[in-house]
Amino acid sequence: MDKSYPRITAAQLHQNSGQVVSIVGRIVKVRIYSYLIMSREFDAETLRIAIVTATATYGTAVMKACDQALVKVKIVQAQNFQPGLFVEVTGRIGENLAIEEYHSINYDMNLYSRMIEISKKFTDIIF
């Protein structure tokens, strides 16, 4: 994503409700759903029917944020969400304070905690 968003801890979810934010945490639980999409295409010139298939995935995850609170994430990029991985999620805080994922990457939790602490000291420069 080209734009930056506020980086928050789980304690800051409520005050940022409805906003797009970034949060880092360790994945503790994942539930992935996959479904198969099939369609038929008819080519009138060749009189052939083609069957086109695709697989779509979506799901939910629970992550433990750097302040040790649990956060629910509605996911669309299942490959980044496996128990034990640290992930930064950018998304909108929706109903029940669940984050609706727009983008996610695997992340270094120690580096994130240090960045949050340093950013508090230099808010006039960083934000």
Enter the tokens of residue 41: 């295409």
- Which pLDDT belongs to residue 125? 65
Q: Is residue 65 a part of any domain in this protein?
A: yes
- Which pLDDT belongs to residue 41? 78
> What average pLDDT score do residues 73-88 get?
86
pTM, rounded to two decimals: 0.69
> What average pLDDT score do residues 73-77 get?
87
pLDDT level of residue 21 (50, 70, 90 thresholds): very high
Q: Is residue 36 a part of any domain in this protein?
A: no
Q: How many domains does the chain have?
A: 1
Read off the pLDDT of residues 27-52 as tens digits, 9 standing for 90 and up. 999 998 877 777 777 777 777 777 77
Spacing of C-alpha 57 from chain mean position: 13
Mean model confidence pLDDT for the chain: 85
Give CA separation, 22 vs 51, 76, 85, in Å.
40, 16, 16
- Give the count of beta carbons closer than 10 Å to the beta carbon of residue 43: 9
User: Which secondary structure element, helix H or strand E, spans residue 105, and what is its range?
Assistant: strand 99-106
Q: Is residue 37 a part of any domain in this protein?
A: no
pLDDT level of residue 126 (50, 70, 90 thresholds): low
Is residue 102 within 8 A of residue 91, CB to CB? The reply is: yes
Domain that holds residue 101: 7-31+58-126
Question: Where residue 117 sits, what CATH number does that domain have?
Answer: 2.40.50.140
pLDDT level of residue 14 (50, 70, 90 thresholds): very high
Q: Is residue 15 a part of any domain in this protein?
A: yes
DSSP strand E in the chain: where? Answer: 7-8, 20-43, 48-65, 70-75, 86-93, 99-106
Of 106 and 23, the structure prediction assigns the larger pLDDT to 23
